[in-house]
Amino acid sequence: MSRMQGPAIFLAQFAGAEAPFDSLQNISRWAGDLGYQGVQIPTWESGLIDLEKAAESRDYCDEIKGICADNGVAISELSTHLQGQLVAVHPAYNAQFDGFAPAAVHGNPAARQQWAVQQLLLAARASRNLGLNAHATFSGALLWHTFYPWPQRPPGLVETGFRELADRWLPILNAFDDAGVNLCYEIHPGEDLHDGVTFERFLEATGNHSRCHILYDPSHFMLQQLDYIQFIDFYHERIKMFHVKDAEFNPNGRSGVYGGYQDWVDRPGRFRSLGDGQVDFNGIFSQLARYGYDGWAVLEWECCLKHPEDGAREGVEFIKQHIIRTTDRAFDDFAGGAADEAGNRRILGLD
């Protein structure tokens, strides 16, 4: 039978100052009332979790797990997407990414990176204290500004970039290994890990680290025009997390993959609520079931048209309908016979 868990929901796009999105108590009740079974918690939202306290106190972790359980949901995973981004930032992006960190480290890239690394180390311990086995993050990027090679990249640039990226992440990966938690990088444009090839480069640079895994989100592959079904064939052993997010790609004579600096609503490639885009979720859920994916199916709402609360309400049923309870027997078992080596040899004409 299928071991996929869910549906769950990523809370990052919903957390805010107004009820029911202003506290873990309120937002987990809202999610549970919609029918979700899990919540993925963004650790930069201090109204939902105190990351430092979670890293130090099992009692606190039991308390927040209890709040969720009382509202009918489990904590599926924690996320450090914003902090992970800051582990590796090219100077061209310093001003834009300062907002992901406390004001005390703004304008100081070295201090900002140190803060980000400490956040990941806290997240490893917090995930362990919560009894979780996977964690979501971004890789950051040193090479992204060179992804379209003009002028051409000098020899060795890519190798140097991935070697440096791996050096920054190896102590963090080791901390997650000590905690018994898989670190799952969302494969995402804007990150140095943005497709299968770049994940392979990073994995090799880490020495094929046992805790280096993938958060699979097909929407980002749709926008890159990558075969997101075959991706599962290639990397299923490393896929430990799943964001269920839809997208569409409608190129025209004025704009294509790169989007022309347009707002999301005008781009040929744009994110949509579940069922409103072009992603083949029947194929995705089938492939994940084939390979025995046993993690959570987590809705991530990002849509340039539909209201988020409508997307969340529709998404829970969408995921429920797509999770496959795998069969424990073959459909034609009724026509089979008992094992009989002598009979098999007769069928093959060997006796």
Taking the domains of the chain in order of start, what are their residue ranges?
5-347
Average pLDDT over residues 17-36: 98
Bridge partners of 79?
42, 136
What single-letter DSSP state applies at residue 278? -
Phi, psi of 169 (to 5 degrees): -90, -20
The angle that helices 58-70 and 109-129 make with each other, rounded to 10 degrees, is 70
- pLDDT, mean of residues 201-226: 98
The angle subtended at Cα 90 by Cα 87 and Cα 93, nearest 5°, is: 100
Average pLDDT, the chain: 96
Task: Answer yes or no: is pLDDT of 288 > 70.
Answer: yes
Reduced to 3 states (helix: H, G, I; strand: E, B; else coil), residue 56 is helix
Give the mean model confidence (pLDDT) for residues 25-30.
Answer: 98
- Give 339's pLDDT tier (boundaries 50, 70, 90): confident
Give the model's confidence band at 1: pLDDT under 50 very low, under 70 low, under 90 confident, else very high.
Answer: low
Query: pLDDT-derived band of residue 57, with 50, 70 and 90 as boundaries?
Result: very high
Confidence of residue 2 (pLDDT cuts 50, 70, 90): low
Q: Which residues, in sequence order, are CB contacts of 16 under 8 Å at separation 6+?
A: 22
Residue 114 pLDDT level (bands cut at 50, 70, 90): very high
CB atoms within 10 A of CB 221: 23
Q: Which residues pair with 75 in a beta bridge?
A: 39
- Over residues 212-238, mean pLDDT: 98
For residue 329, the model assigns a pLDDT of: 81
For residue 220, is pLDDT > 80?
yes
* Two tokens, residue 12: 């990052």
Give the pLDDT score at 328: 82
pLDDT at res. 247: 98
CB neighbour class for 187 (10 Å; exposed up to 12, middle 13-18, buried from 19): buried
Confidence of residue 189 (pLDDT cuts 50, 70, 90): very high
DSSP code at position 135: E
Q: Which CATH number fits domain 5-347: 3.20.20.150, 3.30.420.10, 2.60.120.10, 3.40.50.1100?
A: 3.20.20.150
CB 152 within 8 A of CB 113: no
Helical H runs in the chain? 24-34, 51-56, 58-70, 81-85, 94-97, 109-129, 157-179, 196-205, 218-224, 228-235, 281-290, 308-322, 341-347
The residue-averaged pLDDT of 116-124 equals: 98
The predicted-structure confidence for 129-167, as pLDDT tens digits, reads as follows 999 999 999 999 999 999 999 999 999 999 999 999 999
Are 351 and 342 contacting, i.e. CB atoms less than 8 angstroms apart? yes
Checking if the pLDDT of 24 tops 90, the result is: yes
CB 219 within 8 A of CB 271: yes
How many CB atoms are closer than 10 A to CB 321?
12
